[in-house]
Amino acid sequence: MLRLAAPVLVAVACSPAPAQPADASSPDSAATTCTSEPLVPRAQFVAESVAYLRAAFGVTDGFDGGVVGYSEAYVSLDDTPCPLADWSALSYAAPIASTLVPPELRDTFDRVAAIWSLGGRKFVVFLPAEPGGMPAAAPWPLGRLPDSVTANARADADPDAIAMLAARLRTRYPTLKVDWYDEIHLLALTAPVGNFTDDPVGTLTIPQFETATDDVRTSNLFMPIEWSILNFRFPNHFWSSTTVAGDTIGPECLRTKTKPMLPLATTSPSLAPPLGAGPQAHRPACGE
C-alpha cells in the first residue's frame, strides 16, 4: 500500500519544523544536461501551475509573473528513521488579488503557491507577506491551506442550532466534508482543492469553500474562523526554498539533502498529473 505522510490539518497544533537556512551547497538552478526523471519544460510547469491556480480560484486570469522554486523535505513515518515520506517539491508562487484572500488572512497573506511534491501530490497554499515584497521562492511550509478551516463554538451557542448548520452545509455543498466534534465544541470544514491528504482531488473551488465558511461566520455560533496550517508528523525536516532557473526543470538534479534517503522513501520521484503520473509506490529498503 502506498504510504505518505499523514498530515493533521488543524488550525491550532504543532507547526511544521522551521525551514532551515540554505547553505552554500544549495543549488539555485537545474542543470541543462539533467537526464534524471522527472523532467518538465519550464514553460509547461508555469502554464500548468497558472492553470491549476485559476481553476482552483474559479477565475480566468491572474497569477502570472510568478517565481519557480524548489525545496527539499522529508517526514519520518512511524517515528522511525525508515520508512520516509518524500515532501521535496517544486513550487510556483504568484501574487494574488486581496479579494481572493479570506478576510482572516487578508492583512498578512498576499501570495499564493501551487505546490507539486515529488511524492506525486499537489495542493495550493496562501503565503504570508514578507518585508520588502515577494521573496525569491515560496516558503510553503509556512502557508495556510485554502480548503481547510476550524471554528470553536461560542460558549453560549445552541447545540441544536450548530447541528442544523452542519446539516445545512452538508446538503448545500455535497462535496464539503463537515465534522462537528461536539465533545470539544469544534467544527471542521475540508474540501481538498489538491490531494495533500486525500485522493482524488476535490471538485469545490476555493471561492465556493469561502462561501461555505461565510455561512459559519454569519451564524454567530462560533469564534473567529482559523485557516489550517500545514502540519506534518514528527520528526520531519524542511530546507529553505531556492529559485529554479533554466528552460528544463529537473528536480532530481537539484536534490542534495535528501538524495541518500531515497532508498528509505515510500514513493519514487514523480509529479502529480498533468505533469506526471502521480504517486508512485516504492518499497523502502527497510522492508515492507
**DSSP three-state, residue 264:** helix
65 contact partners, CB below 8 Å, separation of at least 6: 94, 95
Q: Indicate the pLDDT class of residue 32, thresholds 50, 70 and 90.
A: low
- Choose between 274 and 21: higher pLDDT: 274
Cα distance between residue 243 and residue 114, in whole Å: 14
Question: Which one-letter DSSP state was computed for residue 16?
Answer: P
Per-residue pLDDT for 5 more than 60? no
User: pLDDT at position 46, please?
Assistant: 98
Q: Are 206 and 35 in contact (CB under 8 A)?
A: no
Per-residue pLDDT for 72 more than 60? yes
Of 238, 228, 195, the closest CA to residue 76 belongs to 238
| Global pTM value | 0.85
| Full set of structural domains in the chain with CATH | 40-144+231-281 (no CATH), 148-229 (3.30.70.270)
Query: What is the tens place of the pLDDT at every residue in 218-274?
Result: 999 999 999 998 877 778 899 988 999 999 999 999 999 999 999 999 999 999 999
Query: What is the tens place of the pLDDT at every residue in 172-210?
Result: 998 889 999 989 999 999 987 766 655 555 678 899 999
Instruction: Name the region of 214 (left: φ>0; alpha: ψ -120 to 50; beta: rest).
Output: alpha
CA 211 to chain centre: 21
**Lowest mean pLDDT across 12-26, 76-90, 148-162:** 12-26
Per-residue pLDDT for 12 more than 60? no
Q: Can the peptide bond before residue 174 be classed as cis, meaning omega within 30 degrees of 0?
A: no
